[in-house]
Chains A and B, each alone.
Chain A
Amino acid sequence: NAGVTQTPKFRVLKTGQSMTLLCAQDMNHEYMYWYRQDPGMGLRLIHYSVGEGTTAKGEVPDGYNVSRLKKQNFLLGLESAAPSQTSVYFCASGPASPLHFGNGTRLTVT
């Protein structure tokens, strides 16, 4: 039972490049979330999904897109990366509660 798995663990992008972060959960959870964490701050919600085929905006959605084509996967896309998107990205899944987090993806945009 792997729980919540994030791929990749680290990535360096140049400004303007695109990439997709993958989150996979094997707990059959309905809810999935993408957060970002900047230094010295708490986690801020980017996008979330309450079920397969659904997505919704969180607190800081600009510059990101998401898809939930399969219940177990939640993808976060950056179409044109900017230095302001340098951050640690966390995925989480859950029933109503509690949330289970992955170990994070450290993204640097130069």
Chain B
Amino acid sequence: GIQVEQSPPDLILQEGANSTLRCNFSDSVNNLQWFHQNPWGQLINLFYIPSGTKQNGRLSATTVATERYSLLYISSSQTTDSGVYFCAPRNAGKSTFGDGTTLTVKP
């Protein structure tokens, strides 16, 4: 199956800072999702992005499928952005999760 590597594993920011999270994957994929797992454990879909760039408010994502990576950008971070961010590339009908990036935003 696909191997997924996310970096960095942990990230601590001051409120207002920007950050970039990276997701590398080992094989070609049909599509890719980014999720935010909030402190209550819920998985919130952020982006469905098989290729190209999408933006939603302070968040944006870019997937370069030919080079097998995706980036999640968080600008002007807020304390509510804290949690774990997962990427999940999809191939052959199955999504494989990385181990996530744990983001802590301090006030």
**Cβ contacts under 8 Å, B48 to chain A:** 97-98
Residue pair A45, B31 in contact (C-beta under 8 Å): no
User: A41 contacts the other chain (Cβ, under 8 Å)?
Assistant: yes
Q: Count contacts on B: residues with CB < 8 A to the other chain.
A: 23
The proximity string for A residues 49-69 relative to B, scoring 1 for CB distances below 8 Å and 0 otherwise, is 010000000110000000000
- Interface assignment of B41: CB less than 8 Å from any CB of chain A: yes
Contact of B97 among A40, A43, A48, A104 (CB under 8 A): A43
Contacts of B96 in A (CB 8 A): 45, 59
Partner of B100, one of A42, A45, A97, A100: A42
Q: Which residues of B contact A (CB under 8 A)?
A: 1, 4, 30-31, 33, 35, 41-43, 45, 48, 50, 86, 88, 90, 93-100
Give the top 3 A-B pairs by smallest Cβ distance, nearest first: A42-B97, A98-B48, A101-B43
Which A residues lie at the B interface, using CB under 8 A? 31, 33, 35, 40-45, 48, 50, 58-59, 88, 90, 92, 96-101, 103-104
